[in-house]
């Protein structure tokens, strides 16, 4: 995954003609933490995991990015995803740098109490690294508002009342209205803007979706509310399709009860891997990385891909899709709604002032529409695809901030 994020960075760096040294400075994380997380399970036996936090760059503001709890979590993932956060925060213009982390545990095998203890042990392990002006975590895969609430509590116990240390908190504990659905809402706005480029609207398209977690459920609901047809959904346990369009609220209710879309009576089951090549106008990968690869990219039938997940497309797949004329809205633009509303939450926390939901959604829409237009302008001016253009814009913004902060004499074309 690190290789892929470096590949995309380097394509943009080529377009900007950056020197090797500048590339290395921009790519190298400022700090990488690996920490033992040791606590007890509910029976009093030892629980032992490894926690990671990569702080990539803070030139544009405090480090910012989610915490992922997943058995595959490792230093490479943390670093690759932290890199993506740096470019993502720059594209939407929120005053943060990039970070990412997590624990190599499987929350599905753990009780709430165990998760709470593991989270608190991890926060202790990150002591000195976190803070409202230092590094601000948020939810990611398999973490949620409840976990963020525990982080705020644990941090506040030694640092005093600090709601701004973490975003994506419960609304009852200084979380922002609209944060929970923000990534999915941002995906919907990005898709709407891309469809405009194709002369279409959400109401006239069909959508296939991989992943039905926080991002997928909210994106699907909002798209369906605008008349788009969600015709195929796959998660890691099963898949369901309905050519007439799935009843999304019913599918969300089913998934909440059963933990999977599998068995949903409002559609027919199919082999989950086929969702990537499903005959739909739009494909939304909203699960994990490397979903679209050199093996299946040639068979993708959608003409638009909106990346809800981080890193769902491998470089080989990206090349195939470009050659085939498939328009991809890259992760660092398409799923930036989450960190955008994280910024709104942080701003509300610092000001001790709550925004109405309409304000959150209106401001989010403005940010994503502007970011899409900015990337589109770079793409047109430099004849680049949307992903490379997004990286170019982000590198320029981070690079210019770095030049303004540090006495860099070298002439850098930024
Ligand atoms: N984990 C989310 C992402 O990948 C949100 C990060 C945040 O809000 O800081 O963008």
How many domains is the chain partitioned into structurally? 2
Ligand 1: atom nearest CA of 343 is 8
Which residues line the pocket of ligand 1, CB cutoff 6 A?
Answer: 64-66, 88, 138, 140, 167, 310, 335, 338-339, 342
Domain shared by 272 and 137, yes or no: no
Domain shared by 145 and 230, yes or no: no
Domain shared by 127 and 222, yes or no: no
- Is residue 188 within 8 Å of residue 226, measured between CB atoms? yes
Burial 324-351 (b: 16+ CB within 10 A, else e): eebbbbbbbbbbbbbbbbbbbbbebbee
Domain shared by 143 and 230, yes or no: no
Token pair for 182: 């923000």
Catalytic: which of 100, 229, 366, 380? Answer: 100
Q: Distance, CA 345 to ligand 1 centroid (Å)?
A: 12
- Is residue 221 within 8 Å of residue 248, measured between CB atoms? yes
Backbone angles phi and psi of 28, in degrees to 5? -75, 130
With respect to residue 362, please indicate whether it lies within any of the assigned structural domains: no
Q: How far apart are CA 10 and CA 21, in angstroms?
A: 12
Q: Which positions ≥6 away from 50 have C-beta within 8 Å?
A: 34, 35, 36, 37, 74, 103, 104
With respect to residue 345, please indicate whether it lies within any of the assigned structural domains: no
| DSSP helix/strand/coil, 368 | helix
Burial class (CB in 10 A: 0-12, 13-18, 19+), 391: buried
Q: Distance, CA 257 to ligand 1 centroid (Å)?
A: 26
With respect to residue 61, please indicate whether it lies within any of the assigned structural domains: yes
With respect to residue 397, please indicate whether it lies within any of the assigned structural domains: no
Domain shared by 120 and 74, yes or no: yes
Ligand 1: atom nearest CA of 168 is 8
For the question of residue 100 being annotated catalytic, the response is yes
Q: How far apart are CA 188 and CA 383, in angstroms?
A: 25
With respect to residue 407, please indicate whether it lies within any of the assigned structural domains: no
Q: Distance, CA 240 to ligand 1 centroid (Å)?
A: 28
| Position 411 pLDDT exceeds 90 | no
Q: How far apart are CA 340 and CA 408, in angstroms?
A: 30
Of the candidates 411, 372, 404, which has an alpha carbon nearest to the alpha carbon of residue 195? Answer: 372
Domain shared by 330 and 187, yes or no: yes
Taking only the tens place, the pLDDT of each residue in 314-362 is 999 999 999 999 999 999 999 999 999 999 999 999 999 999 999 999 9
Domain shared by 151 and 200, yes or no: no
| Position 410 pLDDT exceeds 80 | no
Q: Distance, CA 317 to ligand 1 centroid (Å)?
A: 24
Ligand 1: atom nearest CA of 335 is 10
| Position 87 pLDDT exceeds 70 | yes
Of the candidates 30, 29, 33, which has an alpha carbon nearest to the alpha carbon of residue 128? Answer: 33
| Entry field: residues in the chain | 414
Of the candidates 68, 92, 88, 105, which has an alpha carbon nearest to the alpha carbon of residue 8? Answer: 88
CATH number of the CATH domain containing 208: 3.40.50.720
Q: How far apart are CA 43 and CA 34, in angstroms?
A: 27
With respect to residue 13, please indicate whether it lies within any of the assigned structural domains: no
With respect to residue 123, please indicate whether it lies within any of the assigned structural domains: yes
Domain that holds residue 159: 18-165
Domain shared by 262 and 229, yes or no: yes
Percent with pLDDT over 70 in the chain: 98
Q: How far apart are CA 9 and CA 108, in angstroms?
A: 34
- Which domain-ending residue is among 165, 191, 210? 165
pLDDT of residue 1: 86
CATH number of the CATH domain containing 92: 3.40.50.10860
Residue nearest to atom 8 of ligand 1 (CA): 339
pTM of the predicted structure, to 2 decimals:
0.97
| Position 59 pLDDT exceeds 70 | yes
Domain shared by 143 and 265, yes or no: no
Domain shared by 290 and 206, yes or no: yes
Q: How far apart are CA 316 and CA 267, in angstroms?
A: 33
Choosing from 63, 183, 289, 349 the residue with most ligand 1 atoms within 8 A of its CB, the one to mutate for a pocket test is 183
Q: Distance, CA 288 to ligand 1 centroid (Å)?
A: 14
Choosing from 130, 140, 167, 337 the residue with most ligand 1 atoms within 8 A of its CB, the one to mutate for a pocket test is 140
Ligand 1: atom nearest CA of 342 is 8
Domain shared by 35 and 96, yes or no: yes
The H-or-E segment that residue 158 falls in is helix 145-159
| Position 409 pLDDT exceeds 70 | no
With respect to residue 57, please indicate whether it lies within any of the assigned structural domains: yes
Domain shared by 113 and 147, yes or no: yes
- Which domain-ending residue is among 165, 198, 226? 165
Q: How far apart are CA 287 and CA 216, in angstroms?
A: 8
| Position 414 pLDDT exceeds 80 | no
- Which domain-ending residue is among 334, 363, 385? 334
């Amino acid at each position: 995954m690190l290789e892929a994020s470096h590949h995309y960075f380097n394509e943009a760096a080529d377009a900007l003609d950056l020197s090797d040294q500048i590339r290395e400075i921009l790519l190298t994380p400022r700090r990488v933490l690996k920490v033992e997380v040791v606590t007890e399970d509910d029976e009093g036996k030892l629980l032992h995991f490894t926690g990671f936090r990569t702080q990539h760059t803070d030139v544009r503001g405090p480090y910012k990015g989610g915490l992922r709890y997943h058995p595959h979590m490792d230093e490479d993932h943390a670093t690759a995803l932290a890199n993506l956060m740096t470019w993502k925060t720059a594209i939407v213009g929120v005053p943060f740098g990039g970070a990412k982390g997590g624990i190599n545990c499987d929350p599905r095998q753990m009780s709430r109490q165990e998760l709470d203890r593991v989270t608190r042990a991890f926060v202790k392990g990150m002591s000195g690294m976190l803070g409202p002006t230092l590094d601000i975590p948020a939810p990611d895969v398999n973490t949620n508002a409840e976990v963020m609430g525990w982080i705020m509590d644990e941090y506040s116990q030694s640092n005093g009342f600090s709601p701004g240390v973490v975003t994506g908190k419960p609304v009852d504990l200084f979380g922002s209205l609209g944060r929970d659905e923000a990534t999915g809402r941002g995906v919907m706005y990005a898709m709407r803007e891309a469809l405009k480029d194709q002369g279409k609207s959400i109401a006239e398209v069909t959508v296939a979706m991989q992943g039905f977690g926080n991002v997928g459920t909210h994106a699907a609901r909002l798209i369906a509310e605008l008349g788009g047809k969600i015709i195929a959904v796959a998660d890691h346990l099963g898949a369901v399709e309905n050519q007439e369009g799935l009843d999304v609220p019913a599918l969300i209710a089913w998934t909440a009860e059963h933990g999977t879309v599998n068995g949903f009576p409002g559609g027919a089951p199919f082999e989950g891997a086929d969702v990537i090549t499903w005959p739909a106008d739009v494909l939304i990968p909203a699960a994990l990385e490397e979903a679209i690869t050199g093996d299946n990219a040639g068979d993708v039938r959608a003409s638009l891909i909106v990346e809800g997940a981080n890193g769902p497309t491998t470089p080989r797949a990206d090349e195939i899709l470009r050659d085939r004329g498939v328009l991809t809205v890259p992760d660092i633009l398409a799923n930036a709604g989450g960190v955008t509303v994280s910024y709104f939450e942080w701003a509300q926390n610092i000001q001790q002032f709550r925004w109405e939901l309409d304000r959150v959604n209106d401001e989010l829409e403005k940010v994503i529409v502007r970011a899409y237009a900015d990337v589109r302008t770079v793409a047109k001016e430099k004849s680049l695809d949307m992903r490379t253009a997004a990286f170019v814009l982000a590198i320029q913004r981070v690079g210019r901030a770095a030049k303004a902060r540090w006495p860099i004499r070298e002439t850098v074309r930024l």
